[in-house]
Each structure stands twice: as structure tokens, then as C-alpha cells.
């Protein structure tokens, strides 16, 4: 794809997104609390060809650049953190298949994932946990048998498939494509799920845990096999990946502050918006500059922590200027503040936690 094609893809994606958000998108509070509404919104994004932004053109996707995807993610998070989060799960699953080793899975799923005709999630955060692997895979001729648990998996009732990660005896990581529903195999394998967890935000995403009991994963459902330590390396190289969601939510918080300032509130409200708007713009510019070139891991961590810091303050400002109304669960300021809580710990590593804490006590 040449540069003009890339730019056209971005403009088309952002134009399509804005058209949807301005004319059809459900209320953000409904997206957070109603699974049926969230599912319909995902389907609507797929109908506008917005769920295959990291899928190659040959498979029906848009294949826009990382920087262009950043702008798209940020705009969506500004409207609804819940919708931005859950579609990111799907886009990540599609990208894993697209970059994986299975031509069979690419042909079978990518054209349908790009249009939202099939929806898929991901879960490999358990690889970040210390101690024995929570999910193991043992070779069985050309297939694999999986046993253990997947502690966090969002999208029950939304997604039809999920990609998770199991540790092989040699330490390599098996990326496995699973059905996202209770399933029993004729030879005794079972896949079961918990009830959706009661979380502080994004209830409609239906986050569950999964248990696999001697689950036979056939060779055709192997997305890829990655080296031992794959996720740690990926995390170190991509600390800035969550920042468009963080910055989009921060901007949503400032939208609340600006609206109240323009309604004739005390001058302090407008002054706070001006100061926070300036810092958010500076943080965003620094992150975009870092993403445009190779950036040391320590600098990425610094920018990740800064984005979380400014997002917390922007959304807290929205709560403060909303006064007592912010106590209502349906209040926009409260919803946005809770969304940033989710993004504060999503994809968190020990290094990210340390950088975030250092920023808080500086």
C-alpha cells in the first residue's frame, strides 16, 4: 500500500467512525451497561468496515498504519471507553491471526472478522503472572491438550471465538483459537466459563474466567507458536500501545469540563481546562513523536505513566466540576473516570506499575 492509499484508508476510517458516532451510536452509558447494545455497536462498526483496520488488504481489511490506528482508537475512546476497549480485543485477535503462521485460519476467519460477521476476543494477561503457568499445553501427535485456567477474558456473549495463550513444556507459547462458549468434546474435553464478574466499569463487556479440562486443540486451530518470554518482549517494546485509549478518555473528561466552563461556570473551571488541555496536548505530541521512531523502553514507560497521570487529573476534574451529580452512576463524568481506572491497569506490567507510582510520588 502506498502512502496515498494509507492516508485514504485513515480518512475513510475516521470519516466512517465520525459518521457513526454522530448519527447512529448508542448512548455511551448504554454501551457500558447493556451487552445487547454493545454487541449491536460492534456489528455496526463491522458493517462500516471498521473492525479490520490491522488486517491486510488481501483479506478484506484496511491495513492502516500504527499511527493512523492510534488516531482512530483515540477518537473512539473519547466517545466510549467501553466500545473502544472491546473492539480493541477484536482488532487484536484479528491481527494475531493475520500475523500468525496458519494460512488456513487466515482464509477461514479474516474476511469475516474484518466485517464483524465473526467477533473474537483475546486473553494472554495470565502470562504476566509469576509462578507456574495457569494454562498448559501438551503435544498430542500433531494436536495439543490444554488444561488449566484463563483468569480474565472479556466478551462472553459478544464474541464467538477467543485466542488465548498456553505454555508448552519447553516454555514456548501456544496461541490457541477457542470457541467462546460452554463446550464439551466427545472424548471428555471441556471448556467452561464463570459468571460475568462484577467490575467497577464496563459491565457490558462480560468479563469471565475460563477453565479448560483436557481440551483437545486440533492443529488447525493453532494460531501460532511464539518463543518463551514472547509477551515480556512484546510488552517492553510496546508500552505505548494503550495510550490512545488513555488519551481519548482524558479528552472526554476535558469535554465535560469545557462544557461546564462554556455554560458560565466560575472562572476557575475555564482556567483548569486551559491548563489541563495544554498538558494533554503536550503529552499527546510527545507520545506521537515517540511512536514515529525507535524509542528506548524507559522513555516509553515515562510517557505511559505521564498519560495515565494526566488522564486521571482530566477525568477527576470532570468529576469535581460536575459536583454532586457525579455521584450518579449514569453521570458522564463518573463513567469516564471509571473507564480511566480500567485503562490504568490494563496490560500493566511490573515496570509500568513502577513508572506509574514514581510519577504519583514525584
Q: What is the pLDDT along the chain (362 residues), one digit of tens a residue?
A: 444 444 444 557 888 898 999 999 999 999 999 999 999 999 999 999 999 999 999 999 998 888 889 999 999 999 999 999 999 999 999 999 999 999 999 999 999 999 999 999 999 999 999 999 999 999 999 999 999 999 999 999 999 999 999 999 999 999 999 999 999 999 999 999 999 999 999 999 999 999 999 999 999 999 999 999 999 999 999 999 999 999 999 999 999 999 999 998 789 999 999 999 999 999 999 999 999 999 999 999 999 999 999 999 999 999 999 999 999 999 999 999 999 999 999 999 999 999 999 999 97
Please check whether residues 65 and 164 belong to one and the same domain. Answer: no
| pLDDT tens per residue, range 60-89 | 999 888 888 999 999 999 999 999 999 999
Please check whether residues 253 and 203 belong to one and the same domain. Answer: no
Please check whether residues 244 and 223 belong to one and the same domain. Answer: no
List the CATH number of the domain containing 314: 1.20.140.10
| Bridge pairing between strands 222-226 and 173-179 | antiparallel
Please check whether residues 215 and 253 belong to one and the same domain. Answer: no
| pLDDT tens per residue, range 272-314 | 999 999 999 999 999 999 999 999 999 999 999 999 999 999 9
- The residue from 194, 227, 260 where one domain ends is 227
Please check whether residues 69 and 91 belong to one and the same domain. Answer: yes
List the CATH number of the domain containing 159: 2.40.110.10
Please check whether residues 90 and 180 belong to one and the same domain. Answer: no
Residue 192 counted as domain residue: yes
What are the CA-CA distances from residue 2 to residues 8, 65, 98, 281, 326 (Å)? 10, 11, 20, 29, 47
Please check whether residues 70 and 144 belong to one and the same domain. Answer: no
| Full residue range of the structural domain in which residue 144 is found | 122-227
Residue 232 counted as domain residue: no
Structural domains in the chain (count): 3
Residue 340 counted as domain residue: yes
Please check whether residues 247 and 351 belong to one and the same domain. Answer: yes
Amino acid at each position: 500500500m502506498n502512502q496515498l492509499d494509507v492516508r485514504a484508508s485513515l480518512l475513510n476510517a475516521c470519516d466512517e467512525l465520525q459518521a457513526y458516532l454522530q448519527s447512529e451510536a448508542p448512548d455511551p452509558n448504554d454501551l457500558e451497561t447493556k451487552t445487547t447494545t454493545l454487541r449491536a455497536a460492534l456489528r455496526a462498526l463491522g458493517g462500516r468496515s471498521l473492525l479490520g483496520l490491522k488486517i491486510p488488504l488481501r483479506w478484506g481489511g484496511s491495513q492502516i498504519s500504527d499511527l493512523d490506528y492510534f488516531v482512530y482508537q483515540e477518537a473512539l475512546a473519547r466517545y466510549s471507553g467501553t466500545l473502544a476497549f472491546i473492539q480493541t480485543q477484536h482488532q487484536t485477535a484479528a491481527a494475531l491471526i493475520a500475523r500468525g503462521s496458519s494460512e488456513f485460519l487466515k482464509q477461514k476467519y479474516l474476511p469475516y472478522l474484518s466485517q464483524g460477521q465473526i467477533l473474537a476476543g483475546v486473553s494472554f494477561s495470565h502470562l504476566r503472572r509469576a509462578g507456574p503457568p495457569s494454562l498448559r499445553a501438551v503435544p498430542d501427535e500433531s494436536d495439543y491438550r490444554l488444561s488449566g485456567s484463563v483468569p480474565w477474558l472479556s466478551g462472553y456473549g459478544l464474541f464467538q471465538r477467543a485466542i488465548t495463550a498456553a505454555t508448552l513444556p519447553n516454555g514456548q507459547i501456544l496461541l490457541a483459537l477457542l470457541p467462546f462458549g460452554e463446550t464439551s468434546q466427545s472424548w471428555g474435553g471441556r471448556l467452561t466459563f464463570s459468571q460475568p464478574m462484577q467490575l467497577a466499569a464496563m459491565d457490558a463487556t462480560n468479563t469471565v474466567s475460563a477453565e479448560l479440562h483436557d481440551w483437545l486443540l486440533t492443529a488447525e486451530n493453532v494460531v501460532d507458536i511464539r518463543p518463551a518470554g514472547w509477551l515480556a518482549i512484546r510488552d517492553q517494546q510496546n508500552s505505548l500501545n494503550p495510550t490512545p485509549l488513555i488519551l481519548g478518555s482524558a479528552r472526554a473528561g476535558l469535554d465535560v469540563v469545557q462544557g461546564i466552563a462554556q455554560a458560565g461556570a466560575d472562572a476557575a473551571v475555564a482556567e483548569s481546562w486551559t491548563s489541563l488541555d495544554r498538558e494533554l496536548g503536550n503529552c499527546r505530541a510527545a507520545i506521537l513523536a515517540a511512536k514515529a521512531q525507535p524509542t528506548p523502553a524507559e522513555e516509553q514507560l515515562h510517557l505511559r505513566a505521564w498519560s495515565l497521570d494526566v488522564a486521571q487529573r482530566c477525568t477527576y476534574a470532570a468529576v469535581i466540576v460536575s459536583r454532586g451529580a457525579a455521584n450518579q452512576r449514569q453521570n458522564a463524568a463518573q463513567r469516564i473516570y471509571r473507564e480511566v481506572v480500567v485503562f490504568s491497569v490494563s496490560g500493566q506490567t511490573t515496570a509500568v506499575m513502577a513508572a506509574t507510582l514514581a510519577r504519583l510520588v514525584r
